[in-house]
Structure 1
Amino acid sequence: MTRRTPYRSLRGISAVAALLAIGAVGCSDVSDAVDSATDSAKKVARQRSVFSLDIGDCYNPSGKAEGTAYAVEIVPCDEAHEGQVVGEFAIDKGKEYPGDDEISTVADNRCPVEAQKYAPDTWALDKGVSLFYYTPTKESWATGDRSVSCTYTAGKGTFSGSLDTTKTLKPAQVTYLKGANAIYEALWANQPEKDTVEADLPGYKAQAKAVEAALNAHVEGLEGIEGTEVGKLRATLTEAAGNWKKAAAAADADTFYLAYDSAFTGIDPNKSVAAREELGLATTVPADEAEVWAG
């Protein structure tokens, strides 16, 4: 997860400056100036404080790439835009500001969960669109700000259309995505800080147990979905769940590694492509996930 809080500068003077210049130019220049003034006025009218962002808002940032956020330009989602708010929640950490690191940790953990409620199929996201978030600063915390806005934002360029797909998904698609997303959430949310199993065997066993539980729930959900490829995937994931169970019960690091190799390979996203196609879901494995399982 990357943390970015772009600086948002208010641009209330732009339209006024453009309009005052019209009287001193020729006809063609007047037309250009009017167009420029219209565009500027539209941007001014669309400015909104980051404190009033709502789920579903599509927006364009203003100003520099990093810093403290103040405002964004809200735009219709069918227009090109750089980001869309896909989740929000309030941080309950008492009166004292918990610090930037603690705030980021909370957002790292919650935003993927909140975003998946709004846009469950992360494979369907435009290339280069990633999850970011706006969080309170120490100064805004002192004024009562506790809100985190989770957004999908384009790293470069723009995208168009709303990312809200929950209303168009079929029940079988929703069931599949809920189960599949839970597997990878269990994997990454429980990733131990230590780089080796030897350094934290209990931590890695706990991760394996969480993944096994998510897999079992997903397999159970798939039992109610018809389809040849879905059936094949269910068998593959059932085997994977068995290997994660072995890893969770490992008595030592060597035993863990023996089970983990097959367990991790068993949840390779590429193994689900055929089932996704059968269900009418996106079939291109996101680049970051493909890189992980490519070794």
Structure 2
Amino acid sequence: MTVCSPYRSLRGIPVVVALLAIGAVGCSDVSDAVDSAKDGAKTVARQRSVFSLDTGDCYNPTGKAEGTAYTVEIVPCDEAHEGQVVGEFAIDKGKEYPGDDGVSKVADDRCPVEAQKYAPDTWALPKGVALFYYTPTAESWATGDRSVSCTYTAEKGTFSGSLDTAKSLKPEQNTYLTGSNAVYEALWANQSETEAVEDDLDGYKAQAKAVAAALDTHVTGLDGIEGAEVGKLRGTLTKAAGNWKKAANAADADTFYIAYDSAFTGIDPNKSVAARKELGLATTVPADEAEVWAG
């Protein structure tokens, strides 16, 4: 979890250290020291409080990517960077801090939604980028801090370029992504905490009902999009919706399992690759999704 704390200015420290060292070195070393000082000065000048982060900001964490944060280095998005803010929202004000777990639960629920508004095609994200967030601490909450900044951050290394793709999408691309994202959100947001259907049949049936409803909406959206591959996908998803409805209405666990097997296979992301290609969207299934359906 990534959290916020009060700002502490670091301005000027690298420059002072570098300049004090210059007098004791040769000309080439002086040149290197000056270059280092310039780089240090630029880094310090880019320091911003975590409270000042805005959607669209590209940045490098100051210190470890996870833990209590004071500042970040704001950089142009065309430079290599570790993260970008892709959404923001405020937690409803309350009298008491909801605790780290409570704040994380809110961020876990809201950040995927906010991120998809900014970068709807999750398949187009750079490899190794994952969703993180900056949230209030108990101390900053006491001062009125309620802001959550949702970010895509490289778990290793850096990436270049902005992740803001929403504005460049064509209407048919946006329609497809809105419907597709809603299907998988319904699947994972309603996942039962129990592994066995027998232990929570009602919970699994509720999940199936939510996915079926999302599929119906997705299929309706696809009705207005031309293309042979989109048409094939529409037929596949219509059949899948029928199986999810059977699962939602199952009288017992055995009946649910029979319907669920075909229902789950019916929304395998690999089945949408051809339609995505036809629509001009990313066509590489993210590794984590591919692993789920491969198993």
Alignment TM class, shorter chain as reference: over 0.9
Equivalence map 1:21-32=2 (5 Å)? 21-32=21-32
CA distance in 1, matches of 2:185, 2:93: 23
Aligned to 1:24, the other structure's residue is in SS state coil
Amino acid at match of 1:160: S
Amino acid at match of 1:104: S
Equivalence map 1:48-67=2 (5 Å)? 48-67=48-67
Aligned to 1:51, the other structure's residue is in SS state helix
Stretches of structure 1 lacking an aligned partner (at least 5 in a row): none
- Contact 2:19–2:33, Cα closer than 8 Å, also in 1: yes
Cross-structure match for 2:149? 149
CA distance in 1, matches of 2:9, 2:256: 55
Amino acid at match of 1:200: D
Cross-structure match for 1:164? 164
Cross-structure match for 1:230? 230
Aligned to 1:63, the other structure's residue is in SS state coil
Cross-structure match for 1:180? 180
Most deviating of 32-41 and 13-22? 13-22
- Contact 2:4–2:136, Cα closer than 8 Å, also in 1: no
Equivalence map 1:57-206=2 (5 Å)? 57-206=57-206
Amino acid at match of 2:48: R
C-alpha distance 106-6 of structure 1, shift in aligned 2 (>3 A): closer
Aligned to 2:89, the other structure's residue is in SS state strand
Most deviating of 238-247 and 14-23? 14-23
CA distance in 1, matches of 2:62, 2:4: 8
Cross-structure match for 2:215? 215
CA distance in 1, matches of 2:122, 2:106: 21
Amino acid at match of 2:275: A
CA distance in 2, matches of 1:67, 1:185: 27
Aligned to 1:167, the other structure's residue is in SS state helix
Aligned to 1:21, the other structure's residue is in SS state helix
Aligned to 2:87, the other structure's residue is in SS state strand
CA distance in 1, matches of 2:24, 2:8: 28
1:9 Cα deviation (Å)? 7.6
CA distance in 2, matches of 1:240, 1:23: 74
Deviation by residue 1:125-165 (Cα, 9 ceiling, x = unmatched): 11101111111111111111111110000011100000001
CA distance in 2, matches of 1:65, 1:148: 16
Cross-structure match for 2:241? 241
Aligned to 1:64, the other structure's residue is in SS state coil
Aligned to 1:198, the other structure's residue is in SS state helix
CA distance in 2, matches of 1:251, 1:217: 25
Stretches of structure 2 lacking an aligned partner (at least 5 in a row): none
Aligned to 2:206, the other structure's residue is in SS state helix
C-alpha distance 291-10 of structure 1, shift in aligned 2 (>3 A): farther
Paired residues in the alignment total 293
Aligned to 2:114, the other structure's residue is in SS state helix
1:276 Cα deviation (Å)? 0.2
1:5 Cα deviation (Å)? 4.4
- Contact 2:4–2:51, Cα closer than 8 Å, also in 1: no
Cross-structure match for 1:47? 47
State the TM-score, normalized to the length of structure 1.
0.96
- Contact 2:2–2:69, Cα closer than 8 Å, also in 1: no
CA distance in 2, matches of 1:25, 1:293: 60
